[in-house]
């Protein structure tokens, strides 16, 4: 696969959210899309299902062929003992976040977001229930360190849920075993449900991704985990992810899913099958390229006065600090769009702890990334001239 070349004209036609809404000449490093076409196995799987007229209603929990393969994958790779009955196909990670908040939170209750800052829909879906989102902030000035000493003080009698994002969006941090054990301990002591978003499990550069549900049986039985295909395989438009739901929580989750969506799009499930076939060769090649893009971007940003960038352990994101520019996150994003013609995401969209940071998506070609970084450097240099 050639990751070094992307067709921007084609991207403006097919990647509407990331590229299509911006004028020609603008470089988008914002939306969490990779700029590469998906592997051929995905196209072949979808074409095969269409040729077989597999378009009627499917099983409300997901196609058995797919659930069997996912149960094997989760058991072998993630260390979570699972059967096909534990697997639920859903239309994307955002739906999984909504579903868990809808089921387990009520007005006046609380969910701890660990770690924070974190993906915006965590906040929005908690607050939509009338509950409060309680941030467990990383140490933002010291390499995004997980603060074990502050978690217990955030859990109280109103807490119902701990929501985890690992690997972490937006900082790229990978939580270690001791970090996860600390979260698990808090959940056990507070009799809480754990929701773990592990969408970026295939995009780890250093260290090893560990599922919190694999720590112990007593943790697994209270943990709902969501995995997906959209980020590493480049198919967010198919809106498909899968949840691992333990027996004690399963009936409640399945009943709600049937009421809301009937089942996940069957062609999206075909794309998921194709993703499973492609992962073995695609993911290593993608990671090799992204590691090069990460190292390039961290080095270049380190040369820009007023910006400081940690080297992420995972994800296609950088989360550089921009406080030295003398602007807020929103002001910095507007400045870079107006002066550099580069789109980035303001850090405050991930919570208050993200203020003073911006998020950049590096999953593009070297040529596009170098051009974007050169524009940013030039625009910032003109601030002080």
pLDDT tens sequence across 193-252: 999 999 999 999 998 999 999 999 999 999 999 999 999 999 999 999 999 999 999 999
Secondary-structure class of domain 42-277 per CATH:
alpha beta
Q: What are phi and psi of 134, to 5 degrees?
A: -105, 110
- Which residues, in sequence order, are CB contacts of 137 under 8 Å at separation 6+? 115, 116, 117, 147, 150, 351, 353
Strand partners, 145: 139
pLDDT tens per residue across span 8-53? 887 888 778 899 899 999 999 999 999 999 999 999 999 999 999 9
pTM of the model: 0.96
List pLDDT tens digits, range 150-164.
999 999 999 999 999
Q: Which long-range contacts (CB under 8 A, 24 or more apart) does 125-128 make?
A: 125/97, 125/98, 125/101, 126/101, 126/163, 128/101
Mean pLDDT of 253-276: 95
Q: What is the pLDDT of residue 7?
A: 80
**Measured between alpha carbons, how far is 88 from 96 in angstroms, rounded to an integer?**
10
| pLDDT score of 287 more than 80 | yes
Residue 6 pLDDT more than 90?
Answer: no
Per-domain residue ranges for the chain? 8-39+279-381, 42-277
Rounded-to-integer distance, Cα 192 and Cα 114, Å: 13
At 319-361, the pLDDT tens digits run 999 999 999 999 999 999 999 999 999 999 999 999 999 999 9
pLDDT score, position 138 = 96
Task: Give the pLDDT band of residue 385 (cuts 50, 70, 90).
Answer: low
Predicted local confidence at residue 239, as pLDDT? 95
Residue with tokens 């550099």: 340
Residues 6 or more apart whose Cβ sits within 8 Å of residue 134: 110, 111, 112, 113, 154, 159
The pLDDT tens digits for 119-136 are: 999 999 999 999 999 999
Class of domain 8-39+279-381: alpha beta
Model confidence at 1: pLDDT above 70: no
């Amino acid at each position: 696969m050639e990751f070094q070349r992307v067709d921007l004209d084609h991207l403006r036609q097919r990647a509407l959210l990331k590229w299509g809404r911006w004028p020609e000449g603008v470089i988008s490093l914002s939306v969490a899309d990779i700029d590469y076409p998906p592997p051929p196995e995905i196209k072949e799987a979808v074409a095969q299902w269409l040729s077989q007229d597999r378009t009627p209603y499917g099983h409300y929990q997901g196609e058995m062929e797919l659930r069997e393969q996912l149960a094997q994958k989760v058991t072998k790779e993630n260390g979570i003992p699972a059967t096909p009955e534990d697997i639920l196909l859903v239309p994307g990670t955002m739906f999984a976040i909504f579903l868990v908040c809808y089921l387990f939170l009520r007005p006046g209750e609380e969910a701890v977001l660990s770690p924070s800052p974190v993906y915006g829909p965590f906040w929005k879906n908690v607050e939509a229930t009338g509950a409060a989102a309680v941030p467990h902030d990383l140490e933002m000035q010291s390499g995004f360190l997980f603060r074990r000493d502050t978690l217990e003080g955030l859990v109280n009698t109103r807490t119902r849920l701990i929501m985890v994002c690992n690997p972490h969006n937006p900082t790229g941090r990978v939580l270690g075993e001791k970090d996860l054990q600390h979260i698990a301990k808090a959940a056990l002591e507070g009799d809480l449900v754990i929701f773990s978003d592990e969408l970026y499990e295939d995009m780890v550069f250093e260290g090893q991704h560990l599922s919190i549900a694999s720590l112990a049986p007593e943790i697994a039985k209270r943990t709902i985990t969501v995995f997906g295909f959209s980020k590493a395989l480049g198919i967010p438009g198919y809106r498909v992810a899968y949840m691992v739901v333990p027996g004690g929580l399963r009936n409640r989750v399945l009943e709600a899913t049937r009421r809301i969506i009937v089942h996940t799009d069957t062609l999206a499930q075909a794309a998921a099958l194709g993703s499973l076939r492609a992962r073995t060769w695609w993911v290593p090649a993608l990671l090799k390229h992204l590691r090069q893009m990460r190292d390039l971007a961290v080095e270049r940003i380190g040369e820009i006065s007023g910006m400081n960038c940690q080297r992420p352990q995972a994800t296609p994101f950088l989360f550089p600090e921009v406080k030295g520019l003398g602007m807020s996150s929103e002001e910095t994003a507007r400045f870079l769009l107006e002066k550099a013609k580069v789109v980035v995401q303001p850090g405050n969209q991930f919570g208050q702890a993200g203020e003073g940071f911006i998020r950049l998506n590096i999953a593009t070609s070297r040529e596009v990334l170098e051009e974007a970084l050169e524009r940013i450097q030039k625009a910032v240099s003109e601030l002080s001239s």
